[in-house]
């Protein structure tokens, strides 16, 4: 079963939570997830779609995307990136129960790299990573420094 990850980023404080209509990145754990009911329709033109687990060779990954998803990707001229977030999380997370969550943390790094958000607000990688570290420390600091460092490493690997 696919996992849903949420990351909402804006140049100003977000005051309310709601479903997004337009997205700059659609991470898919498996290409097969890109079915007609999935949110590829809401992805912004010329932005990025991401599959988090590549098959070898890459052509097999493209063939794994249903024709409906391939059509949207072609029509919107989306860029498709493949990065094995499962492998990265397994290599970094020292606790097995953290591996699933850390796949989503790797996606934060991917988001920073493939979407134009940081450039639009005038932030470089170091500034963005500093902001990410602040939030990681806020939400995961109580679990220990090793958990913070593993999360930061996941973000950097995604980046």
Which domain, by its residues, includes 139? 85-158
Whether residue 101 sits in one domain with residue 40: no
CA 149 to each of CA 19, 87, 102, 126: distance values in angstroms, whole numbers, following the listed order = 31, 17, 12, 16
DSSP state of 74: H
Whether residue 145 sits in one domain with residue 93: yes
Whether residue 109 sits in one domain with residue 68: no
Cα angle for residues 104, 157, 117 (degrees, 5° grid): 70
Contact 33, 50 (CB under 8 A): no
What's the CA gap between 157 and 29, in Å, rounded? 17
DSSP state of 12: S
pTM: 0.77
The tens-digit pLDDT sequence of the chain (159 residues) is 555 666 677 777 777 776 666 666 666 655 555 555 555 666 666 566 666 666 666 677 778 788 888 888 888 888 888 788 888 999 999 888 888 888 888 888 888 888 877 888 888 888 989 989 999 999 999 999 999 999 999 999 988
Residue 153, pLDDT score: 96
For helices 125-140 and 99-114, angle between their N-to-C axes, nearest 10 degrees:
160
Whether residue 77 sits in one domain with residue 102: no
């Amino acid at each position: 079963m696919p996992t849903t990850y949420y990351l909402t980023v804006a140049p100003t404080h977000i005051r309310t939570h709601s479903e997004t209509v337009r997205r700059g990145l659609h991470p898919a754990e498996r290409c097969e997830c890109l079915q007609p009911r999935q949110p590829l329709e809401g992805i912004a033109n010329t932005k990025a779609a991401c599959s988090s687990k590549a098959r070898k060779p890459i052509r097999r990954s493209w063939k794994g995307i249903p024709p409906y998803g391939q059509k949207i990707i072609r029509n919107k001229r989306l860029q498709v990136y493949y990065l094995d977030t499962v492998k990265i999380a397994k290599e970094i997370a020292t606790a097995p129960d953290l591996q699933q969550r850390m796949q989503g943390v790797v996606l934060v790094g991917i988001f920073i790299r493939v979407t134009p958000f940081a450039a639009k607000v005038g932030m470089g990688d170091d500034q963005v990573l500093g902001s990410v570290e602040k939030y990681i420390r806020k939400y995961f600091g109580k679990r220990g420094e090793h958990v913070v460092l593993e999360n930061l490493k996941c973000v950097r690997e995604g980046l």
